Structure 1
Amino acid sequence: MELMFLNSLPDKQEYYELYQSTGWDPEGRWTSTLLQDSLINSWYTLSVVRDGRLAASGRIVSDGVIQCVICDVIVKPDYQGLGIGTLVMEHLISHCKAKGIRWIQLSAASGKAAFYERFGFVPRAADAPGMSLFL
């Protein structure tokens, strides 16, 4: 399995299809243009290509100095279970280390906490929960 890891924006439609494969947007709020804009405005974007097609992606939002948030780590369903998600996370964490970022946060999708714990991530304490507001 030959993979190419690219620090470049994926094809707009391919990324839209990859994102929609997650089930994170059941109402269809995120258009291909909005999703591409989210990539453009990210601090770092990783695209993983296999056989000329987008197989996985991940991105980082950061102040570039102290902290960052790893977002939207996605592996196409056909390629899950092959270790690609692990490679994506290793690459993103390595990029943070290389840039001096030491505080990495993320939100795990339902059922995925154990995957991120393998990299040293720990759940926030119950008295200091992560919070969100969807507008």
Structure 2
Amino acid sequence: MSKDLQPVIYREYIPTGEEFIRLVESAGWQGITKKGSGQLEAALRQSWLVVSAFKEDRLVGMGRVISDGIFQAFICDLIILPDDQSKGIGTGILSRLLKKCKEQDILMVQLFAAAHKSGFYKKFGFEERPEAAPGMRWVSRDSV
């Protein structure tokens, strides 16, 4: 019998900066933790929606939406602790984030997927942007 039978509880919960750093470090994401727990927690608090997943009282994952609440939404920071991946937790979080976007009739919901994770998002109706309209990000900060 599997020891992993604890139910997963999903709720709107903004992780503390320390909890967020633990998730980010578990994912191996680089550079984010340099902001420090205080600034990271402030950033999370400015999210439109944060859904967190718990096993008992232990935070095992989270995802969030940044949005104007009407037209644009961006899903970011969908992170599940490595030992809890492939157990439906990411699906539970993403489903809840998308449900809220659908309820608000948000026209454009976008995201960046981690390497080799686009298949997960395609199951929810996401598609990769065409070459004729690729996404971009600002990296040359000395340009202004």
TM-score range, shorter chain: over 0.9
**Which whole-Å deviations, capped at 9, do the CAs of 1:37-56 have from their partners, x for residues lacking one?**
12111111111111211110
Secondary structure in structure 2 of the residue aligned to 1:34: helix
Superposition deviation, residue 102 in structure 1: 3.0
Give the direction of change, closer, same or farther, for the CA distance of 1:129–1:100 in structure 2 (3 Å limit).
Answer: same
TM-score by length of 1: 0.92
Superposed CA RMSD in Å reads: 1.5
Residue of structure 2 in register with 1:35 after alignment:
40
Residue of structure 1 in register with 2:94 after alignment:
89
2:17 and 2:36 in contact (8 A); partners too:
no
Q: How many residues align?
A: 135
- 1:65 aligns with one of 70, 91, 114: 70
**Which whole-Å deviations, capped at 9, do the CAs of 1:59-105 have from their partners, x for residues lacking one?**
00001111100000000111001010111111110011112213210
Superposition deviation, residue 26 in structure 1: 4.9
TM-score by length of 2: 0.87
**Which whole-Å deviations, capped at 9, do the CAs of 1:91-127 have from their partners, x for residues lacking one?**
1100111122132100001111111111110000112
Q: Match of 1:81, as an amino acid?
A: S
**Which whole-Å deviations, capped at 9, do the CAs of 1:10-58 have from their partners, x for residues lacking one?**
2331221011211122574232222211211111111111121111000
Q: Match of 1:6, as an amino acid?
A: R
User: Share of identical aligned residues, percent?
Assistant: 37
Residue of structure 1 in register with 2:135 after alignment:
130
